[in-house]
Chains A and B, each alone.
Chain A
Amino acid sequence: EIVMTQSPATLSVSPGERVTLSCRASQSVSTKLAWYQQKPGQPPRLFIYGASARATGIPARFSGSGSGTEFTLTISSLQSEDFAVYYCQQYNNWPPMYTFGQGTKLEI
């Protein structure tokens, strides 16, 4: 099983700041890496797939990078609506399964 590790678990930031979230895979997943945003009481929303491609409707301030085992999600200038939990997910060994990181919570 591929284990995904995100850091940090919680990040205290302010609107307007630039933030970088990290995700590490226990073995190479190539660029089969997605990022999801989840707000309280809502299902996750796909933000990034293929490590760096933005999903439909995702603002350009969000960017993803990386390959192999090291990945980052960067938000160039935090907006109030960006405070949420972000999960990375690998889908390189699908089927049969995919795995998520434990999440990074952005808080004010």
Chain B
Amino acid sequence: EVQLVESGGGLVQPGGSLKLSCAASGFTFSSYWMSWVRQAPGKGLEWVANIKQDGSEKYYVDSVKGRFTISRDNSKNSLYLQMNSLRVEDTAVYSCVRDGCLGLQGVVCYWGQGALVTVSS
């Protein structure tokens, strides 16, 4: 059974930093692109960043470029999101997702339950 379990969320002041982790199990982690998707309270879904299987390619939504860094450790079946210079508008539930559902890149079948990040003074 595929499982994605996020951790590391919490309350942080504007300008602060936080690092999210995602522990993956039930599939060959090193074979899949992985992404972070966020959802602000009461709002829709927003893709944040993704990373290729070997970590050689990384992409970000414009609003987080230069502030967030996605990474992975295939030996630990783990995905990470380092978030710096956090803003109030970054407040959201951040979910780890596995790309490549049904062999279709960009389609998502598996999501974690998410980690809540609250940026507030």
How far is it, in angstroms, between the C-alpha of A99 and the C-alpha of B95 when the chains are bound?
15
How far is it, in angstroms, between the C-alpha of A99 and the C-alpha of B44 when the chains are bound?
11
Report whether A97 and B47 are in contact in the complex, using a CB–CB cutoff of 8 Å.
yes
A55, A87, A89, A97 interface centre (most CB from chain B within 10 Å) = A97
How far is it, in angstroms, between the C-alpha of A55 and the C-alpha of B101 when the chains are bound?
10
How far is it, in angstroms, between the C-alpha of A87 and the C-alpha of B62 when the chains are bound?
21
How far is it, in angstroms, between the C-alpha of A70 and the C-alpha of B4 when the chains are bound?
33
Chain B nearest CB, measured from A26 CB (Å): 15
* A50 contacts the other chain (CB 8 A): yes
The number of chain A residues with a CB under 8 A from chain B is 24
How far is it, in angstroms, between the C-alpha of A87 and the C-alpha of B52 when the chains are bound?
25
- The residue of chain B having its C-beta at the shortest distance from the C-beta of A50 within the complex is B104
Report whether A98 and B102 are in contact in the complex, using a CB–CB cutoff of 8 Å.
no
Indicate whether A49 sits within 8 Å of B102 (C-beta atoms), given known contacts A95-B33, A96-B59, A100-B45. yes
Which residues of chain A from 64 to 108 have any CB-CB distance to chain B below 8 Å in the complex?
Answer: 87, 89, 91, 94-103
* A43 contacts the other chain (CB 8 A): yes
Chain B nearest CB, measured from A1 CB (Å): 8
Report whether B59 and A46 are in contact in the complex, using a CB–CB cutoff of 8 Å.
no
Report whether A101 and B44 are in contact in the complex, using a CB–CB cutoff of 8 Å.
yes
Which residues of chain B from 99 to 118 have any CB-CB distance to chain A below 8 Å in the complex?
Answer: 99, 101-102, 104-109, 111-114
Contacts of B52 in A (CB 8 A): 95
How far is it, in angstroms, between the C-alpha of A97 and the C-alpha of B101 when the chains are bound?
15
Report whether B105 and A94 are in contact in the complex, using a CB–CB cutoff of 8 Å.
yes
- The residue of chain A having its C-beta at the shortest distance from the C-beta of B58 within the complex is A96
* B11 contacts the other chain (CB 8 A): no
Report whether A94 and B106 are in contact in the complex, using a CB–CB cutoff of 8 Å.
yes
Chain B nearest CB, measured from A21 CB (Å): 14
Convert A31-50 into 0s and 1s, putting 1 for each residue whose CB lies closer than 8 angstroms to a CB of B: 01010101000011010011
Convert B58-97 into 0s and 1s, putting 1 for each residue whose CB lies closer than 8 angstroms to a CB of A: 0101100000000000000000000000000000000100
A-B contact pairs, 9 of them (CB 8 A): A38-B45, A43-B112, A43-B114, A46-B109, A55-B109, A87-B44, A97-B47, A97-B50, A100-B46
List residues of A whose CB falls within 8 A of some B CB: 1, 32, 34, 36, 38, 43-44, 46, 49-50, 55, 87, 89, 91, 94-103
